[in-house]
Each structure stands twice: as structure tokens, then as C-alpha cells.
Amino acid sequence: MKRIIVPVLLVSSVFIASTTRAQAPVYYGPLMYALQFDTAVPPVHVGQPPAVTTAYLWFDEAMRLNTQAQVLGYIKKMTWNDTAKFIASNLYQIQDDDPMALDNWSGNWVKRGDPYKCEPGRARNSFVDEVKNLVGARTSILLKTDFIADVVVSDTVCAKDPTAYTATDMVLANTSIIDEIKGKNIPACVLYMKASKKGPMPLSGPAHPTWTHSVPADSGSCLEFAYSPEWPSDPNDDAGMTHLTDSVGGWWVKPGKEYIIFLQLTGIGLDSTSGYFTLFPGGFGTMGGMYPVVSGIVIDPHDDFGFGATGLAVADWKSRLRARINAIIYP
């Protein structure tokens, strides 16, 4: 359903080329970040965790020495063996360290030329898809999701998308992090949502790109994302029978409420120097990637991650989720 609500094709991890130099795409959603391309690859730097640097250098060498056909063919023949688990562990760790850095590198957009025989983003996406085939969606979504956090919503505001076939309402949620679960660095927020005495003012017209950079995902830090109440809560609901609204038709995400959110960086477009993206929830489960916490209980009626129980206290739910993550990092 998400694919029909925006005026350009959105592809996670790989931005779509634009023919106009230094020209942001026209986008009517409420949140559009801009990030300059890398000037060198891979994205290693002083102060980076040693395991992350080592993982980047290992992936960098593999992409330089092997053709795309070789890499993708190898992935297709994989079993869930020690090598696959090693790749999954390293991929998770570099993504957890700084999802935007990985996404920029995965898109293969570097100012000084392309040194790779295999595009990192193609290899990354192919591997995550194969993990789903090998061990299921519950593991692959933890590799695919860029940010996981327990948050409280500060504010919401609605934008109208006149280009959408359906789901013309797009909501921008401004949240404050209670507990970072994945994504130790996050995009610096836009922070232009200002609530008047009558509530948040609606946005109108195309989005203005906001230049961002990575900032620590500390407790209390701002994390923004966008969603549409008309999207199905279940990604497998092609008939559109479910929606991200409450029992009385109100917005799913409400100010002052707590949620555990699963967010993905989603490309909007690019020009010759920069990529443009937004953050969407979802892609797995029955709650649209936004699990409400009510009276200290995570609302997860279908036990999406197979924790063995519903009605879990938030600390217990997060502990079981972290156990699944640790099984990826430390196979």
C-alpha cells in the first residue's frame, strides 16, 4: 500500500537517480531529510567501534574483488551456516552503529568514483531476503529495520498529499527516546512542528528538504518518522482491510503516548551530490511497526516475534527482543 501514496518510487537503501543537478525531488510527505554522499568509502573513522571498522573493511574488500553476479549467486546458494551467521552479525553491527552511514554506503553514491564491482546495497538487500527464506521474517526484519526504539510521542502533525491515489493523509510524529534498542546514531531532527493552542498546525505544499547528520540516540533525544493512517496495519493486507487507526477512527500515534517503533530509512530521490529520504515504520507484524504501550503492557496481540506470550510488560517484551538481537550478533 505504501508504494502508491508517494509521487516517486521509494526503494529502501538505494536512492533513485534524478536527471537534475542539485535539485531536490518534489515530495508531499511531511518529512524529507537530505544527506550528502560519501567522499570516500567505506565509512570508517576514528572513534568507531573496532568491530564496526573491521566489518566495513571486510565487506568493502568483498565488493571490490567480486562481481555482482558472483556475490548474488553466492548468496542465493547459502545455507544458514557459520558464514551466513558471520555476515548477519557484522551487518547488524554496522547498521546498529550508524544506520545513515550504512544506507549512504549501501546506495553506492560516492563523489570520487565507484570502486566496487558489486553494489553494496544489492548485496545487502539480497542477503536480507535470503535470511528470510532460510530462517524466517522474524530474523530478517531485525536486519532490515534501521531503528528500533521505545519512545514517547511529543507531537503529531498532518500533511495532505494531493498526488496520492489513496492514503492522502500523512502524519509526522515527533518523539522522544526512552530507550534505544537499535540505531546508536539517529538523524538530527527537523524540529519545525510547533503546536498552537488549538493543536498542531497542518502542513501544506511540497516538503522542504532538511539537511541532517547523525547524532547520538541518547535518552531524551528526538526521533521523527512519518506514516499514513490509511496504511494497513498488517503488511500482508493487500486488500486494505486494516488501517492504522484506533477503534474510533483516530490516528494510531497520539501525543503523550508510548510506543515501541520499528523504522526504516526510505529513499525519495537523489541529485548529483545528495540523497533524500524519510523514515517509515512497518514492514512486519500486525501493528504497523508501532507497538503501543498501555499501562506498562506492550500491545502485541498476535505475538509477532514469537515471544511465547501476549500481554507482556514493556521491560519483559524488550528483554525478549534483545535476546533475539543478541542471537544475531553472537551466533
Domain co-membership, 122 together with 69: yes
Report pTM: 0.89
Domain co-membership, 161 together with 189: yes
Query: Is residue 11, in this structure, part of any structural domain at all?
Result: no
Domain C-terminal end among 125, 144, 163: 144
pLDDT of 203: 62
Domain span at residue 113 reads: 46-144
Domain co-membership, 140 together with 234: no
Supply φ then ψ for residue 215, to 5 degrees. Answer: -130, 155
Burial class (CB in 10 A: 0-12, 13-18, 19+), 178: middle
Q: Are 278 and 31 in contact (CB under 8 A)?
A: yes
For residues 202 and 199, what is the distance between their CA atoms, to the nearest angstrom?
A: 9
Number of domains in the chain: 2
pLDDT tens string 52-93: 999 999 999 999 999 999 999 999 999 999 999 999 999 999
Side-chain half-sphere exposure of 13, counting CA atoms within 13 A? 18
Domain co-membership, 169 together with 295: yes
Q: Which three cell numbers stand for residue 79?
A: 545455507
pLDDT of 24: 83
What stretches of 240-294 show up as alpha helix (H) in DSSP?
none
Domain C-terminal end among 144, 178, 196: 144
Domain C-terminal end among 144, 172, 195: 144
Domain co-membership, 243 together with 294: yes
Query: Is residue 169, in this structure, part of any structural domain at all?
Result: yes
Domain co-membership, 93 together with 157: no
Query: Is residue 13, in this structure, part of any structural domain at all?
Result: no
Domain co-membership, 91 together with 173: no
pLDDT of 199: 44
Query: Is residue 41, in this structure, part of any structural domain at all?
Result: no
For the chain, percent of residues with pLDDT exceeding 70: 86
pLDDT tens string 240-280: 677 788 777 788 999 999 999 999 999 998 888 889 999 99
